[in-house]
Amino acid sequence: MDSLKEFFGDVFPLHNLKILDSSNASNLASIILSLDVDSFNIFWETNTISDISNKYLKGELNYKLIEQMQYGILLDLQKDSIDIKLIEEVTNNLLTLKNNNLLSNKRHDTLIRLLEKIKLHKLQQTQDIKESTIKFVNFFDESLELIKEQIDTIQNKCEVNDITKNDFIEIINKAKNQHFKIGIAGILSAGKSTLINALLKEEVLGSSTIPETASLTILRYSDNKKAEITFWNTQEFKELQKTISNETLELLDTESFKEKIQSYIQDTTKTIEVKIDELKNYTSANTSDKLCNLVKQTTLYTPLEILKNNVELIDTPGLDDPIIQREIITKEYIKQCDLLLYAMNASQSATQLDIDFIIYVLENTNISRILIILTHADLLEKRELDLAFAYTKSSIQKQLLDKIPHTKAMLMIERLDFIYLASYPALLCNTNPKKAQEKGYTLKDSNLQTLENYLNSTLLGSNSTKAKDIIFIALRQFEKILLKLQENLNLESKLLFASESKIQEEIEIIKSQATQKTEEINALQLKLKNAKEELEIFLQSAKNSLNQKLKNAKTILIKRIYDDILYDMEKNQTIQNNRLDRILELGLSDFLIDILRDSKKELSKKIDQIKLSFSEIAINESSNINLDKNLITKCKIQLLNEIQKITKKHNKNSKDSMFIELGRCFDSGFLSFEDEIIKQSKNFESKITQDFTQALENIINTHKKDEEEKQRTLQKIIQNSHNNNQEKEQRMIKIDSSQKCIKDALKLCTTLQQYTTKE
């Protein structure tokens, strides 16, 4: 123990004295420990001291040897084999010696403080054993409760100011208010809506509520059922119109629908609350109003049990929807999720679209696990279902191993789980038990309970990755505060008995350190400002380079499209839109994918370079920019829509004006592609600089708090320096007690952190 080293200085402890092995151990230890220079000079010739000398020191006797014995005894008391009861007996004996004026008050208080430390250390070792075997039923709730208990103990037994108390409250609130997001995806007809209805135990979504535009549904917890409809804002709706069919565009252009657009599509996003039974009026493609074209998002509030702990279910649009914007929205929302439920129709599972999307999610998101659900299981015989189940697993695993390096693929495969589900029978068992019974459906056969158990376990069980991550972050924050408290207590302990000159010397050192830290922060702020300017210059340069590449690609593609259209016109044939589609698909793939890849590579390289220069700030944000092939498809659809309009207006006699209009069409179409790349690059730049700025602000705030706390500690030290030794001893006992509480809390942090990182 450090306190023993400080107390005995350069004294070398005597080991293997066997004093604590004797039947009279507590009395012998108490007598030896009680001796200081004055009492030794008085009692060194007594029979008791002579016997100790003869038995344990081979007849030699001086005060230096007594100090060495004392040091050895206190070290021996720390051994695992020594019972705490012996320490308590020694403590009682020392009190008796003090009361009989055989031990000075100062010596008594010092010894008691040392013995108390030894006792607490042994108790802590016992506590460590208990903590190392800790088990959880609900890891999130139970570990958070353990942290709260430790915080309460710290606040009750240590001197904690209001700022630190608020920091403790923030740790708990942040952990409790974290959201778990579950994405639900799949191609059209995969059975997503019925799956969700089965979980809700109520038919809220169905074929009549399939949206006709790029919308999604979010389920959140509420005791009272209700729904909210969120519409596109003006800018979003304008962007959406670029990639929807001409048939839908014609609908939007009618006078009656223009009034609806003016009512619902506004500069700021409009949200209205509706009753559940009114939902289909806004989301169904079968209603005459066709309001579904204006809906961006539906939010359902329902008392679903698994949603209670800030869990959200996000039902995304179908992946093979003809409107490309839906897939873009799906991928954007999936990035925010912690868990993905991917629905596949058991009769047609593991299509190439399914597998491509799963690989995309595994490579480009932070999703911890994907649960692949084979739906419509009730439509297959058991043997057919078993074959479909085995085929799905092997097919996905094979493609992962074929397309991705083996080690990485194996890690991805570990993140995949598989179950089957008979959604409709499960729903019917809850909504119409009589009809379910007539059809021979049971909840057990539907396998719904397996899905519910999986969700509960994954979200809040002992193996929940998300729960462990949240608790780990809370523990790291708690640990930082504890270490600062410990540092200030160490400072106070170090200077409690120091001279005034030593205290002033320490104050000057602390001032110097604070000045140095302030200079470092100022340098970081300047570096951040320079990094922002550097990024802005880079993005402008990248934009110029992008424009030139697009200009070259555009010139070649316009000529190809123009020649093909002219060929049909010269032969008086109908313009072959399918052929134009192919020319655009191949051309855009040849040119734009290369441009896209280069843009991603250069921006990622620049971001990584800037991050590397900020070694003082830990930013975990990946520089993987998610600009994917959807941009090219979106660009193609926009161009095709415009080309069709142009060909309707022109013939071979107006080929020159047609060429000019095609040029304008490509200018507009490529501008959309360029804008998207620049926008996403800007968003990424903004996110990175925001992260750096926030990290820097955290450093500044932490520094400010640390300095304020140190100043308070120094003030306390200066005040205590005027106290007498007895008062200082009492203060030291309080400091030691506070240190013990902090060590207990740090031990718990270590134990829980180990739990959060193990599989």
Tens of pLDDT, residues 587-604:
887 777 777 777 777 877
- Output 756 or 616, whichever has higher pLDDT: 756
pLDDT > 90: percent of the chain: 12
Grouping H, G, I as helix, E, B as strand and the rest as coil, residue 274 is: strand
Secondary structure element (H or E) that encloses residue 126, with its range: helix 105-132
Secondary structure element (H or E) that encloses residue 93, with its range: helix 84-99
Task: In whole angstroms, give the CA distance from residue 447 to residue 454.
Answer: 11
Tell me, what's the pLDDT at 304?
Answer: 81
Q: What share of the chain is helix, strand, coil (3-state, %, to 5)?
A: 70, 5, 20
Would the CATH topology of 180-227+303-463 be identical to that of 499-720? no
Tell me, what's the pLDDT at 435?
Answer: 92
Query: For strand 311-315 and strand 180-185, is the pairing parallel, antiparallel, or unpaired?
Result: parallel
The end-to-end CA distance of the chain, in Å, is 35
Q: At residue 752, does pLDDT exceed 60? A: yes
pLDDT mean over 120-142: 62
Q: At residue 279, does pLDDT exceed 50? A: yes
Helices then strands, counting H and E runs in the chain, come out as: 28, 9
Going by pLDDT thresholds of 50, 70 and 90, the confidence category of residue 709 is confident
Q: At residue 620, does pLDDT exceed 60? A: no
Q: What is the mean pLDDT of the chain?
A: 81
Going by pLDDT thresholds of 50, 70 and 90, the confidence category of residue 129 is very low
Tell me, what's the pLDDT at 209?
Answer: 43
Tell me, what's the pLDDT at 759?
Answer: 54
Contacts of 152 (CB under 8 A, 6+ apart): none
pLDDT mean over 117-131: 61
83: burial class by Cβ within 10 Å (0-12, 13-18, 19+)? Answer: exposed
Tens of pLDDT, residues 425-450:
999 998 899 999 999 999 999 999 99
Q: At residue 461, does pLDDT exceed 60? A: no
pLDDT mean over 157-162: 84
Tell me, what's the pLDDT at 344?
Answer: 92
pLDDT mean over 514-527: 81
Tell me, what's the pLDDT at 211?
Answer: 46
Tell me, what's the pLDDT at 212?
Answer: 43
- Output 697 or 564, whichever has higher pLDDT: 564
Q: At residue 1, does pLDDT exceed 60? A: no
476, two tokens: 């790291």
Going by pLDDT thresholds of 50, 70 and 90, the confidence category of residue 624 is very low
Q: At residue 126, does pLDDT exceed 80? A: no
Give domain limits for the chain: 2-132, 137-174+473-497+731-759, 180-227+303-463, 499-720
Tell me, what's the pLDDT at 384?
Answer: 92
Look up the pTM and report it: 0.59
Going by pLDDT thresholds of 50, 70 and 90, the confidence category of residue 225 is confident
Task: In whole angstroms, give the CA distance from residue 719 to residue 362.
Answer: 60
Tens of pLDDT, residues 319-342:
766 666 666 777 778 878 888 999
Alpha carbon dihedral 246, 252, 254, 255, in 10-degree steps, equals -160
Going by pLDDT thresholds of 50, 70 and 90, the confidence category of residue 134 is low
CATH of domain 180-227+303-463: 3.40.50.300
Q: At residue 757, does pLDDT exceed 80? A: no
Secondary structure element (H or E) that encloses residue 231, with its range: strand 226-231
Which of 36-45, 248-257, 368-377, 572-581 is most confident?
Answer: 368-377
Tell me, what's the pLDDT at 387?
Answer: 92
Tell me, what's the pLDDT at 530?
Answer: 83
Q: At residue 224, does pLDDT exceed 50? A: yes
How is domain 499-720 classified at the CATH fold level? Four Helix Bundle (Hemerythrin (Met), subunit A) (1.20.120)
Going by pLDDT thresholds of 50, 70 and 90, the confidence category of residue 621 is very low
Task: In whole angstroms, give the CA distance from residue 45 to residue 65.
Answer: 15
